[in-house]
Structure 1
Amino acid sequence: MAAPLVLSTHFSSSIPHSTNYPSLKTLHRSLSLPSSSTSTAILLNPISKPNINSLFFLNRPSQYVLLSRKFVARTSIRDTETEDSSLVGEDSAVFDFEQQKISSWVYFTVILGVVLFALNVVWIDNSTGYGKAFIDAVSGLSDSHEVIMLILILIFAGVHSGMASLRETAEKVIGERAYRVLFAGISLPLAVSTVVYFINHRYDGLQLWQVQNVPGVHQLVWFANFVSFFFLYPSTFNLLEVAAVDKPKLHLWETGIMRITRHPQVIWCLAHTVWIGNSVTAAASIGLIGHHLFGVWNGDRRLAKRYGKDFEIVKDRTSIVPFAAILDGRQRLPKNFYKEFIRLPYLAITALTLGAYFAHPLMQSSSFNLHW
């Protein structure tokens, strides 16, 4: 987003001449005008060197006007005069190759490999892990797959959101990196257990409706799932922080997906419920939507506590419901809004989302072999 500048637009024919001419460099620094600004700066001081490419001279030699490329900023919703729309939050999905360190990504790869290996040995592998014992213990609480599904989601949601709420306090005690490792070490096994149980029992229970043979439903569900995962990516914009290679931070993202929605997870729940259409999936959807709604409140609460007025500004410009802020005029998209998505992180998540779709048969067979 360009930083808007509105300077004097008052023209007078009786401007006094001065012999103390400021340099162009001084003027540029005082205005803080970036080359890509969409604002218009009008300067009414005389200069002695008229042959400067970035200046457009009026008929009066004692005046000049410094013009940018555009006077009116056009958004994807409506044409609007340039207004104060400078970023308060962070520009999301920025990936500068010049700032990347090979050593950091080597550490990330090693850490990812170690985490996956440990997860398999300690939790997933039935011969060494505790995952099956955990599922068996929860399954002993009820004969209903719907109830078990809700209990698993409740356990995961309580741990995940609870630890997120304790983050600020805990980080002061053990540090950001240590708490990130602890958070992931507890949340990840619970998430895997919940997903595996859902995959294995998704067609159990009472069939409520059947629309899988209806033309266009598969494509609609596929698109909804793709969008939900694509929208979900803001939570992992900085993978080096996720793996605790860089010091984890609580970010206030404002661009890209955040212009459309701050909390997109509900889309996935609804899409799977429509596709499968039975009581187990409905129970999972109800549980996850409840968790996400709590996450909306809890996430906004944490951001408000951390960023104060800045978050309130971002909150006013964005929405929870996709496209709501755009449609009611609170979010004015810049003309080149699409460029916020032509970035390596978004291209990577697109590839991963497509890969996850085609990997569904492998995910299903792997889950079935666990017998959870």
Structure 2
Amino acid sequence: MVFDWFTPSHFVMFGLLVGFAITHSGLAALRPWAEKRIGARPYRVCFALISLGIAVPMIIYFFNHRYDGLQLWDVRGISGVGAIVWILSAISFLFLYPATFNLLEVAAIQKPQVHLFETGIIRITRHPQMVGQVIWCIAHTLWLGTTFAMVTSFGLVLHHLFGVWHGDQRLATRYGAAFEAVKTRTSIVPFLAIMQGRQTLHWAEFLRPAYVGVAAFVGLFWWLHPILIDATSNVAW
């Protein structure tokens, strides 16, 4: 059959992504209502457990089916491509994880709060997680070259583009004019506000232990990557 390559795993992965997007964005929207009823810390714990409960199986499924479908291209044998993919992946983590800098809030040790930032990486882009996810998807789709990777990347990017709109709406509702002022001085597209003269970079803001932690995480993940792939291959799905 012509479309034998279009395996069920494409639909499963997209379904997992849709489920995660609805759950994650829905829980984010419910935050003000839920925190008033059960408190900020219990809600943060519930949010994290539910999100991880979907994300971890989804990551395992991606590892196990990343070469499913049609092989559109194969650049793995081309010299330098692997280095490019790793560099792009490292850059993506620098954008993806500024939101985890307040680790005590993430772990609900301190009271989790909604913050209105305009420093560090927010000067480059108001939505660093979206930018990081797009870079990650470009790198991994380039490396894998499969239709399964393309479906995964399409779903991830679509979710994060929705998150751009949804996040701005929630901040506008919470902070009103203060957020609108930040919005005029920042941009979604990386470096656009800087090039337009609406924002300036302060490199000293990047001299934070958190960025050292992100760099260490990238190095650790690079070392653990083959181990994780071997481990997930033992999971039967």
Q: For this structure pair, what is the TM-score category when the shorter chain's length is used for normalisation?
A: over 0.9
Q: How far 1:261 moved relative to its partner?
A: 1.5
**Is 1:234 aligned with 2:98?**
yes
Q: 1:117-136 alignment to 2 at 5 Å?
A: none
Tell me what 2:3 maps to: none
TM-score calculated relative to the size of structure 1: 0.59
Q: CA RMSD in A?
A: 1.4
Gaps of at least 5 residues in structure 1 are 1-141
Tell me what 1:354 maps to: 219
Per-residue CA deviations over 1:248-286 (Å, capped at 9, x if unaligned) read 001111111111112222211121111111000000000
Q: 1:155-194 alignment to 2 at 5 Å?
A: 155-194=19-58
CA contact (8 A) 2:7 2:68 kept: no
Q: Output the CA distance in 2 between the equivalents of 1:213 and 1:320.
A: 35
**Is 1:338 aligned with 2:203?**
yes
Q: Output the CA distance in 1 between the equivalents of 2:181 and 2:77.
A: 46
Higher relative contact order (CA 8 A, sep 6+): 2
User: Aligned partner of 2:214: which letter?
Assistant: I
Q: Output the CA distance in 1 between the equivalents of 2:224 and 2:190.
A: 27
User: Aligned partner of 1:255: which letter?
Assistant: T
Per-residue CA deviations over 1:66-87 (Å, capped at 9, x if unaligned) read xxxxxxxxxxxxxxxxxxxxxx
SS in 2 for 1:249: coil
Q: Which moved more, 1:238-247 or 1:212-221?
A: 212-221
Gaps of at least 5 residues in structure 2 are 1-5
Tell me what 1:306 maps to: 174
Report the structure, 1 or 2, having the larger helix content.
2
Q: How far 1:338 moved relative to its partner?
A: 2.0
The alignment covers a number of residue pairs equal to 228
CA contact (8 A) 1:149 1:194 kept: yes
Tell me what 2:186 maps to: 318
Of 249, 258, 270 in structure 1, the residue corresponding to residue 113 of structure 2 is 249
Of 61, 65, 69 in structure 2, the residue corresponding to residue 201 of structure 1 is 65
Q: How far 1:163 moved relative to its partner?
A: 0.4
Q: Percent sequence identity over matched residues? A: 55
Q: Output the CA distance in 1 between the equivalents of 2:121 and 2:103.
A: 17
Tell me what 2:146 maps to: 278
Q: How far 1:143 moved relative to its partner?
A: 5.1
Q: Output the CA distance in 2 between the equivalents of 1:352 and 1:177.
A: 26
CA contact (8 A) 2:124 2:187 kept: yes
Tell me what 2:162 maps to: 294
CA contact (8 A) 1:218 1:275 kept: yes
CA contact (8 A) 1:230 1:353 kept: no
Q: Output the CA distance in 1 between the equivalents of 2:52 and 2:152.
A: 18
Q: Which moved more, 1:234-243 or 1:313-322?
A: 313-322
Structure possessing the higher radius of gyration over alpha carbons:
1
TM-score calculated relative to the size of structure 2: 0.92
Q: How far 1:369 moved relative to its partner?
A: 1.0
